[in-house]
């Protein structure tokens, strides 16, 4: 296929989630045709699976400007920018209307199973850059097809590949066998069947981010309800507890994010959750009564629990990109140039530097991983970061490098300086003068604090 013909092809956008749809809107704004390939039956398929969870970012930060420009002529009414949507709100009031505005540029029930250069596997050099991309897909009815594209923007996210309970990054021994007692999502406790599964029971929550905070706070709410007497959480942390464990609190520039950490702390302080620190799960065994027993790498055996909620982050699925020449960091599985900017050992949401098409590029020209997938295994992603990423990428694909390089993004500070610190270190201390919060101090567990309202209103976002 000649270069002129390749230029007439669409840009394939993988995923009709928040960032994928924003990418399509920016491409349309630039006069470039997108083709959005979504495995699910509707827009925001992954978001729909956590529709009961509220974002900690307000509407004003989760609506993309180019998307709003596309929506306005349809009669769309923008939500109150200060309000905090749930995942369901985000889908119903923004994502699905945006997909509808894009029309037949979005194809549902189309799972991408492979991407390559036409007639070139990853080994072949000859005329590689001149060949269009071939995208192999499988439709819901099992039919396979091949589509061609001038560029590929992978916004498929990481939702489908959650991290395991095992402290080594591998599933704990017995983890798969105990699948009927384990979930890797924040449970929807407003669903009667799900609520009955956790009410009056002992649940282990493994993780230390916003999702874990949400689960702890909601289980504490359940414990205080009429039908939740006896509900108890066991909070499993791989590190110790310090002043930064619960986030930035009142110092967080996203107040709802700070409130979420405070709600989790209240759950511990009020005795609804017991914290187990320095525990890296090695095995999930069964007690004499058949309930799961968590065994640590150090040999500790915890008392049996009824349920286990594993919230240890996500990782990218790179399997269908295997024929492309990607430049990925060996630790984070993020683009090489981006990885140092988002390393969770050094950065929190508010300390991530602005970045665009150059940091997202790969040896394979015309391929970009964007959104949560661009962060690989780093957990500090915010929707507004993804919107700026795709604005820059769309400008680069349009040949407007001045605009593409002019990346401007100010992220709200977390109230926690830096990132996660060293393996067993409780957290980094700020330089003299500080950046956003006092030096971490040990947390005394036991002071009473309000849980209920914060758990109900404490939203969550991608930075977890």
User: Average pLDDT, stretch 22-46?
Assistant: 98
16 CB-side CA count, 13 A: 32
Q: Which two tokens stand for residue 265?
A: 């702390």
Average pLDDT of the segment spanning 277-281: 95
| pLDDT at residue 445 tops 70 | no
pLDDT at 280 over 70: yes
Res. 250: pLDDT tops 70: no
The pLDDT of residue 436 is above 70: no
Give the pLDDT confidence score for residue 457 in this predicted structure: 40
> Is pLDDT at 459 greater than 50 in this prediction?
no
Per the listing, tokens 């390749």 go with 6
**How does pLDDT run across 354-365, given as a tens digit for each residue?**
799 999 999 999
CB of 252 closer than 8 Å to CB of 258:
yes
Query: Sign (positive/negative) of CA torsion 240, 242, 246, 252?
Result: negative
CA 54 to chain centre: 14
pLDDT attached to residue 441: 33
Within 13 Å and on the Cβ side, how many CA atoms surround 205?
Answer: 31
- State residue 264's pLDDT score: 81
| Cα end-to-end span (Å), the chain | 44
Q: pLDDT of 78-89, one tens digit each?
A: 999 999 999 999
Q: What is the pLDDT of residue 209?
A: 84
| Mean pLDDT of all residues in 310-334 | 97
Half-sphere exposure of 102 (CA within 13 A, CB side): 34
Please report the beta strands in 140-244, taking only residues with DSSP state E, as ranges in sequence order.
144-149, 151-154, 182-183, 202-206, 232-236
How does the average pLDDT of the chain come out, rounded? 86
pLDDT in tens, 49-85: 999 988 888 999 999 999 999 999 999 999 999 999 9
Q: What is the mean pLDDT of residues 375-391?
A: 92
CB-CB contact of 230 with 398 (8 Å): no
Query: Per-residue pLDDT tens for 102-121?
Result: 999 999 999 999 999 999 99
Sign of CA dihedral 424, 380, 153, 12: positive
What pairs with residue 149 in β-bridges?
133
The pLDDT score that the predictor gives to residue 37 is 98
3-state secondary structure of 77: coil
Q: Supply φ then ψ for residue 119, to 5 degrees.
A: 70, 10
Confidence bin at 434 (pLDDT 50/70/90): very low
How far apart are alpha carbons 116 and 360 in whole angstroms?
Answer: 18
Question: In the block, which residue shows the tokens 């296929």?
Answer: 1
Pick from 156-160, 238-242, 266-270, 296-300: least confident: 238-242
pLDDT number for residue 240: 74
Q: What is the mean pLDDT of residues 296-311?
A: 97
Specify the pTM: 0.85
- Torsion from C-alpha of 177, 179, 181, 183, nearest 10 degrees: 150
Region label for 166, one of left (φ > 0), alpha (ψ between -120 and 50) or beta (otherwise): beta
Residue 276, pLDDT > 70, answer: yes
Closest to 335 measured CA to CA, from 316, 312, 314, 313: 316
pLDDT in tens, 329-356: 999 999 999 999 988 877 655 566 779 9
For residue 93, give the DSSP letter: I
DSSP 8-state symbol, 180:
G
Show the tokens assigned to 133: 């991309």
What mean pLDDT do residues 194-219 have? 94
Per-residue pLDDT, averaged over 147-174, amounts to 97
For 329-365, the DSSP string reads: -TTT-SBTTTHHHH-TTT--GGGPPP--HHHH--SST
The string of DSSP codes covering 410-456 is -PPP-SS-S---SSS---PPPPTT-SSSPPP-PPPTT-----HHHHH
**Between 177 and 210, the higher pLDDT residue:** 177
For residue 464, pLDDT beyond 70: no
């Amino acid at each position: 296929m000649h270069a002129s013909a390749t230029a007439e092809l669409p840009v394939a956008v993988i995923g009709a989630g928040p960032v994928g749809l924003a990418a399509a809107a920016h491409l349309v704004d630039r006069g470039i045709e997108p083709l959005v390939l979504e495995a699910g039956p509707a827009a925001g398929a992954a978001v729909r699976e956590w529709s009961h969870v509220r974002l900690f970012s307000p509407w004003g930060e989760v609506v993309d400007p180019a998307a709003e420009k596309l929506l306005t002529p349809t009669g769309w009414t923008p939500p109150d920018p200060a309000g905090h949507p749930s995942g369901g709100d985000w889908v119903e009031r923004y994502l699905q209307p945006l997909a509808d505005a894009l029309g037949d540029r979005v194809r549902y029930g189309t799972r991408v199973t492979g991407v390559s250069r036409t007639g070139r596997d990853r080994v072949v050099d000859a005329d590689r850059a001149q060949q269009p991309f071939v995208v192999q897909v499988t439709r819901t009815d099992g039919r396979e097809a091949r589509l061609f594209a001038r560029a590929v923007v992978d916004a498929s996210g990481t939702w489908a590949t959650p991290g395991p309970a095992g402290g080594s990054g591998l599933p704990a021994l017995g983890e798969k066998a105990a699948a009927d007692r384990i979930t890797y999502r924040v449970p929807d406790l407003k669903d009667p069947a799900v609520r009955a599964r956790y009410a009056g029971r002992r649940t282990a929550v493994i993780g230390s981010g916003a999702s874990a905070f949400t689960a702890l706070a909601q289980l504490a709410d359940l414990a205080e309800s009429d039908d939740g007497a006896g509900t108890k959480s066991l909070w499993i942390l791989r590190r110790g507890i310090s002043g930064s464990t619960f986030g930035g609190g009142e110092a967080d520039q996203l107040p709802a994010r700070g409130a979420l950490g405070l709600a989790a702390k209240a759950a511990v302080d009020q005795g609804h959750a017991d914290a187990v620190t320095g525990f890296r799960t090695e095995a999930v065994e069964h007690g004499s009564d058949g309930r799961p027993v968590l065994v640590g790498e150090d040999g500790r055996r915890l008392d049996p629990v009824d349920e286990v909620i594993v919230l240890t982050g996500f990782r990218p699925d790179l399997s269908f990109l295997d024929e492309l020449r990607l430049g990925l960091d060996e630790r984070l599985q993020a683009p090489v140039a981006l990885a140092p900017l988002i390393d969770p050992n050094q950065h929190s949401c508010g300390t991530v530097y602005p970045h665009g098409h150059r940091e997202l590029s790969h040896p394979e020209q015309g391929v970009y991983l964007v959104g949560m997938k661009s962060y690989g295994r780093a957990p500090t992603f915010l929707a507004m970061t993804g919107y700026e990423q795709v604005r820059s990428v769309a400008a680069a694909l349009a040949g407007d490098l001045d605009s593409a390089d002019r990346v401007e993004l100010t992220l709200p500070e977390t109230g926690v300086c830096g990132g996660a610190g060293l393996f067993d270190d409780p957290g980094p201390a700020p330089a003299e003068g500080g950046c956003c919060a006092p030096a971490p101090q040990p947390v005394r567990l036991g002071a009473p604090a309000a849980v209920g309202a914060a758990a109900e209103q404490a939203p969550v976002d991608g930075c977890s």
